[in-house]
Amino acid sequence: MRLKKGFTILELLIVIAILAVLVIMLLAALDPFEQLKKGTDTAMLNTANEAYGAMIRYVGSAGRAPWSIEILGAVLSSGQGLDAIEKAVSSGELKRDFVTLAGTRLMGLFMTAASDGTKLAVCFLPVSKSFRTSPGAVYDRFGNRQTCPPGSCYICVGKGTGVTGGSSSGTSGGGTGGYHTLVSGPDDGSCEGFNPEYPAYPMTCNVSNQFARWGCTNYCVIDMGCPHEWQYSPDPNACPPGQRLLIKSYTSGRADECLDHQLEAIEKYCVSGPTAHCAELPYPASDMDYEWGCTSPRRPKKWK
């Protein structure tokens, strides 16, 4: 009888197992998820460069900045960011479809600028290992060089104070434990000049894209009092004398997406000037200490 040569089931299983191991090793070496993240970071960097370049060209050609006030870490999808972009588009420095093509990337880009256009930084938080460990990942979202744990630094493009520019006044918490000093304007009882990124009044509630990547899109401002003048403050070294410590605590606008990052999704800053009211009320305030009147966003109109 002639014997037929072929593979046994055992041999086939061994070959399949070897091929599976090789495929797993290949995928591990290529790390497709890391490649996707790297692609995201590359797109973010390109968008940051494009927006930054257009705004700088606008300043050069128009002789003024496409914004009229100092901007501190505003997302490009905010009113301040979109207004600057629209002026750059209208002047021909940006393509008309820039916002459409950039899409959700605008929510992850943060803009800091001096009112006269001498400083400008556009920053983003990288998600890929290669970008997070790159020499350029050494900034906070305001364009200030900082020392930070691996993976928590931003990449910025810009000019001005520091390597990339941005505002040189203060540092931001942004989940890193620092403090931003906010110089308040006159306590005139109006709701004009409201900065949704750093509202000067406690009890303010609004939405922000600062931690949208974690699903934390809603915030309320908590008053911790004037630490140097109130002995029971939980952090007596938080703010200089005469300044009030405020904490923006973030939550999710949808279900419980933000719960795993609530300890990271906070911002701490100090309010100075007349709005602090440390002499009259050094301890944490309640909503009974204000006159209300601004409801979009919810915030007090003035101190009583």
pLDDT in tens, 215-252: 788 888 888 888 776 655 555 567 888 888 888 888 87
**pLDDT tens per residue across span 43-81:** 998 999 899 888 888 888 788 888 877 888 888 888 888
Q: CA 267: distance to chain centroid?
A: 10
Residue type (1 letter), 229: E
**For residue 273, is pLDDT > 80?**
no
Ramachandran sector of residue 225 (left: φ over 0; alpha: ψ -120 to 50; beta: rest): left
Q: Other CB atoms closer than 10 Å to residue 129's CB: what's the count? A: 15
For residue 250, give the 3-state DSSP assignment. strand
- Rounded-to-integer distance, Cα 139 and Cα 198, Å: 20
**pLDDT tens per residue across span 188-221:** 667 777 777 788 888 888 888 777 777 788 888 8
pLDDT of residue 169: 29
Report the interhelical angle of 32-62 vs 79-90 (nearest 10°).
60
Q: In the chain, what percentage of residues exceed pLDDT 70? A: 78
Q: Which of 108, 114, 116, 93 is nearest to 165 (CA)?
A: 114
**pLDDT tens per residue across span 4-33:** 556 677 777 887 888 887 777 766 656 677
Phi/psi of residue 95, nearest 5 degrees = -70, 150
With b for 16 or more beta-carbon neighbours within 10 A and e for fewer, the 95-114 pattern comes to eeebbeebeebbbbbbbbbb
Sorted by sequence, the CB contacts under 8 Å of residue 160 that are 6+ apart come out as 114, 118, 119, 120, 121, 143, 166, 168
The kind and range of the H/E element at 5 are none
Q: How does residue 109 score in pLDDT terms, banded at 50, 70 and 90?
A: very high
